[in-house]
A and B are shown apart, each in its own frame.
Chain A
Amino acid sequence: MNESELLQLIPEYVLGTLSEEERRQVDALLEHSAEAREELRSYQEMMVGVAALSPRRQAPVHLNTDFKKLLEQSTPVAAPAPVSTTASNRPPLRFTSQSLLLAAAAALVLILGVFLITRTVQQNAQQQQIAAITGDASAVRVTLDVQPDSGAQGQVSFVAVPGQDRGVLLGTLPELPAGQQYQLWIIAGETPIGVKVYDAAELTSEILVDLPVPARNFGVGITVEPRGGSQTPTPPIAFFGSYQTS
């Protein structure tokens, strides 16, 4: 099926009446076609209207309280497993100082090895994710402009693939005094959300950033904050850019 024919299937896609194969093809179209995504969006929003034209039934009030309890129960607190061995059946423990030293050395080597392997794997995974984002043809790149009167220097850009929950910050910034750090903010509503605190040295390579909302139409700002970051941005904003996908 060509793109035009697949576009015609979007109403049925929304109704859920397509075959598995047709659905798969529409999914593939949606991955790369902004027109198809817009078409899907308009039908989905219209179906909210259809649903909102249902006869009104008031949900019982206790559902909200019950849900709160369900939510609390759904977040288990990890507790250490109890040790059941009793003193009476525990075998006697005898160590020499030499065997203790050897065991400690072996444990240290093991921990160091695991740490190095884990760090390498994490770094490789991060580099792959950064490359996937910056190399994606649909990625949107925003230059964050130095804000007037902020006195800021440097160049910073933000890149993210629309709809994804990760982005990449890249550029160069001057070093700050020891007690200060840069903080990245995403402004998707009225309240800016602090997403990353970092030193200038970290920005010599790209930084992978977890976004609080999927990448779509938000502001991206950078401020200078006390080390460790702040709950709300401290004026003046040093850099700002508008990430727009539509």
Chain B
Amino acid sequence: MDDTQLIAAILRRDQDAMVALHARYADLIYSIGYRILNDSGTAEECVQDVFMRVWQNTSQYDSGRGSLVAWLVGIARNIAIDKLRQRGRQVTVDDRDGLDDSDRLVAAAMPENWRDREHLDALRLQMKELPDEQYQALYLAYFGGMSQSDIAEHLNLPLGTVKTRMRLGMQKLRDAWLDKN
């Protein structure tokens, strides 16, 4: 079953379909959780919380606003950041060396028919080329859940500068994703 069929079955309260969705995306969600939390136990909790939330709130999924996997990733990020805050911790910005070895990226575990696979290389290259200051601001916001004013304070920069860096960084990544470069 593709994702559309899975979500249709889950809407009909098909538990087997829900377990199949878990099997399909557990690695992705676990990898996001681990990247944010840097702790295997809490990343495991994150995986179960994400899929339970999907089961309990399936009708909130709106295909008009994005794919099922985008919805899952958004939930995973929110749950992991909540756990990060509960523990009073901060995310550590990683270097980008890992991007060179595509076999060791979670993309390698995405379903074969993931339609956005072809866009990934352009995005990977653009992420590597992003100026440090833009990458850092985006990382702290997305994987650290920090507000723009928190980031401004953390990096000792004016708020306007942080906003500009984020916007530019996001636009470059999105353009690469859409093959506009």
B167 x A12 contact (CB < 8 A): yes
A50 x B173 contact (CB < 8 A): yes
Judged by a CB distance under 8 angstroms, whether B47 is at the interface is yes
Contact string against A for B residues 107-129, beta-carbon threshold 8 Å, 1 for contact and 0 otherwise: 11110000010011001100100
What is the bound-complex CA distance between A51 and B28, given in angstroms? Answer: 8
B142 x A50 contact (CB < 8 A): yes
Which residue on A lies nearest to B20, using beta carbons?
A: A64
B18 / chain A contacts, CB cutoff of 8 Å:
71
B141 / chain A contacts, CB cutoff of 8 Å:
15-17
A57 x B116 contact (CB < 8 A): no
Judged by a CB distance under 8 angstroms, whether B43 is at the interface is yes
Q: Report the stretch among A37-45, A115-123, A197-205, A226-234 that lies at the interface.
A: A37-45
- With known contacts A11-B170, A30-B65, A52-B28, A57–B105 Cβ distance under 8 A: no
Q: Report the stretch among A95-103, A105-113, A188-196 that lies at the interface.
A: A188-196
A64 x B19 contact (CB < 8 A): yes
Judged by a CB distance under 8 angstroms, whether A49 is at the interface is yes
Min CB distance, B179 to chain A, in Å? 11
B62 / chain A contacts, CB cutoff of 8 Å:
163, 214
A17 / chain B contacts, CB cutoff of 8 Å:
141, 146-148, 166
What is the bound-complex CA distance between A189 and B39, given in angstroms? Answer: 38
Min CB distance, A133 to chain B, in Å? 15
Min CB distance, A85 to chain B, in Å? 36
Among B7, B104, B174, residue most surrounded by chain A Cβ atoms (within 10 Å): B174
**A-B contact number at CB 8 A:** 198
B173 x A44 contact (CB < 8 A): no
- With known contacts A15-B170, A41-B65, A52-B120, A189–B8 Cβ distance under 8 A: yes
Chain B interface main SS type: helix
Which residue on A lies nearest to B56, using beta carbons?
A: A74
B70 x A48 contact (CB < 8 A): yes
What is the bound-complex CA distance between A52 and B55, given in angstroms? Answer: 23
A59 x B4 contact (CB < 8 A): no
Which residue on A lies nearest to B122, using beta carbons?
A: A49
B30 x A59 contact (CB < 8 A): yes
Judged by a CB distance under 8 angstroms, whether A88 is at the interface is no
What is the bound-complex CA distance between A60 and B30, given in angstroms? Answer: 9
B13 / chain A contacts, CB cutoff of 8 Å:
75
B19 / chain A contacts, CB cutoff of 8 Å:
64, 67-68, 71
Contact string against B for A residues 21-55, beta-carbon threshold 8 Å, 1 for contact and 0 otherwise: 00000000010000001001111111111111111
Contact of B4 among A53, A66, A213 (CB under 8 A): A213
B64 x A37 contact (CB < 8 A): yes
Residues of A participating in the B interface, judged by any CB pair closer than 8 Å: 8, 11-12, 14-17, 30, 37, 40-60, 63-64, 66-68, 70-72, 74-75, 162-163, 165, 188-191, 193, 212-214, 216, 245
User: With A45-B177, A46-B174 given, can you name 18 additional A-B contacts, CB distance below 8 Å?
Assistant: A12-B167, A12-B170, A41-B65, A41-B70, A45-B70, A46-B178, A51-B32, A51-B76, A52-B107, A52-B110, A53-B123, A54-B35, A56-B107, A57-B34, A59-B26, A213-B7, A213-B8, A214-B61
